[in-house]
Chains A and B, each alone.
Chain A
Amino acid sequence: MRENKSRELKDKTMSAEEAVSRFIHDGDFIASGGFGHVRVAMAIVYEIVRQKKRNLAMAGKTAVHDLDILVGAGCVNKVEVAYSFGHELRGLSPASRRMVETGQCKVPAETSNAAYQWRFLAGMMGLPFIPSRNLLGTDTGNYSSCKVVKDPFSGKPINLIPAAYPDAAFIHVHRCDVFGNAQIDSTVVEDTELSRCARRLILTTEEIVDDELIRREPWKTKIPFFVVDAVVEVPYGSHPCEMPGMYYYDEELIAEWLDLSKMPEGVDKYLDKYVFSVDTFEEYLELCGGIKKVNYLKRREFLKEPMIAPWRKED
């Protein structure tokens, strides 16, 4: 099983540039870890834009800011949707909505959050499908990749959710060693399943720690090294999304994106400023307000600063 995944403990550290050019290819089916605006591998998202990857299909497994940027940038043109094109309380996503409403991004299938995560679970378990009791009787089910069959035990209808095997996944974690043994200090959402069903897996991490630290508390390992293909160290690498227990959303930058992306020219302007004109993630962070902003986001995460909603004015 999985000849392409080495069991050897080897150093997998590399740059975001190398990880994306080696492991993400035009036409791939990709999936991003975390949830919406939470614990997102933004360095990889920006690098996909920078390398102008094209014709990517993306898992809309509650994919929000990552997906909005990648659809807006023209990298992703197919989405299987559980939850996409919206920013939860912040409203709908102007960029990716426009791409769908003008036919530039296709939605070949719908599904739900639970069903998407169970696609990954089936993949992780090496099973062709997982039976479930959602999606039944609905258009969401009719437009999904699922099939309804008769449960051989009860004779009642049961939904079968097919396994998914993304070509490449990228997940941001709190810490890991050079081999890819990773700890996540928050909800794992569906990264347990996604990390194990993806054909290629890039981890970005707040910090790389000594292997000894992993081995001292092995019960904390959420992703083991042998499913990992690349380790990229990116402090504050979820920005402008939240990193639970570390820093909050940068609502100002998200508001700037939501405002500028109302127009196609605005998308270009934003990407020029924050992606194409910067060489490193540090440079990008500096552009977003540097250490002062980062310290504010840390205080905000611990509720020591009031909530702000700069995107609300744009309604």
Chain B
Amino acid sequence: MPIRGVAKGKYRLREYLAFIGASMLDDKRSVLVGTGLPMLAAMLAQKTHAPNLLIMFEAGGVGPQLPELPVSVGESTTYYRGVAASSMHEVMSMCQAGYADYAFLGAAQVDMYGNINTTVIGEHDSPRVRLPGSGGANDGGSFAQKFITIIANQSRRSFVNRVDFLTTPGYLDGPGARERAGLASGSGPYRVITQLGIFDFEEETKRMRLISLHPGVSTAEVKENSEFDIIMSDKLGTSPEPAAQHLQILREEIDPADVVLGK
């Protein structure tokens, strides 16, 4: 079953995912934001519970009060009423130095350790589908204290045993692997959001664990739509639902042209 509110026509899937994404971002924290749904989530958070969310864009925009959905992470709205229109060197250096609490990323494929593929489907040198590559994702996934991944279409093709190309590091091949590779200790994937539920990573194994089901979704559906075994939290919850205010802000202020929400 799809999410109950979606089935009933109360809201659309991407509106719901943006709402769930926003709920992960705390006020007075910083987030490096990627293109698409992550932008909607960060904007919604800033316009609701997190007015002091420090939004950063890889092309140099720092601390904007975003007036509308940017089409690119480099355009002028990414520093609209911002505190700085700087450079990629400035933003990425700050992230590497530990100033990014969160990075918010999209993905084509993810595995049980939260490793992300946004580069190719198939073989690298003769790809079935050529995707855009890392962009700033490897940087965000390497540098941020915690990173959140959003996938609107969890299936056996996107939740895979092995990503076709490991673009951005999750927990690599398990506990301690990030540290052994030289990545900052304590960093790594924090949450994965899909159309079915919310996942974290179990402390001992660093494997993906379902912690919350979206209203109307069953655990069987989550399992069916994954190639790998998903650990079930013994405190499995139900994801919250957006209030009318959230939906109104998303539809009227953030994406009135339905660029992402209407996909």
Q: Which residues in A have some Cβ–Cβ distance to B below 8 Å?
A: 34-38, 60, 62, 81-86, 88-90, 92, 97, 100-101, 103, 107, 110-115, 117-118, 121, 132-141, 143, 148, 151, 156-159, 186-190, 192-193, 242, 244-245, 249, 301, 303, 306-309, 312, 315
Contacts and interface: CB of A to CB of B under 8 A. Distances in A.
Interface string B105-148: 00000000001000100001111111111111111001100000
B74 A134 contact: no
Contacts of A117: 88-89, 92
Contact of B87 (A84, A85, A140, A189): A189
B134 A111 contact: yes
Interface stretch (B41-49, B177-185, B201-209, B223-231): B177-185
30 contacts: A36-B74, A37-B74, A62-B74, A82-B133, A85-B130, A85-B131, A97-B130, A100-B127, A107-B125, A110-B133, A110-B167, A112-B134, A112-B137, A114-B96, A114-B136, A115-B139, A133-B96, A137-B172, A137-B177, A137-B182, A137-B183, A140-B166, A158-B182, A187-B78, A189-B60, A193-B89, A242-B75, A245-B76, A306-B257, A312-B258
Given A88-B71, A113-B88, A187-B61, A82 B134 contact: yes
B150 interface: no
A298 B61 CA distance: 21
B260 interface: yes
Contacts of B85: 186-187
Closest 6 CB pairs of A and B: A187-B60, A137-B181, A35-B74, A157-B182, A86-B132, A83-B135
Interface in B233-263: 256-260, 262-263
Contacts of A118: 89, 92
B262 A312 contact: yes
Given A89-B35, A133-B183, 13 more contacts: A37-B74, A88-B35, A100-B127, A101-B130, A113-B136, A114-B58, A117-B92, A134-B143, A136-B181, A189-B87, A190-B89, A309-B258, A312-B258
Contact of B138 (A134, A186, A187, A309): A134
B61 to A, nearest CB: 6
B132 A138 contact: no
Interface in B14-66: 35-36, 58-61
A199 B63 CA distance: 35
Contacts of A37: 71-72, 74-75
Nearest to A106: B125
Contact of A244 (B75, B132, B142, B169): B75
Contacts of A242: 72, 75-76
B122 to A, nearest CB: 9
A137 B127 contact: no
Contacts of A100: 127, 130
B213 interface: no
B142 A89 contact: no
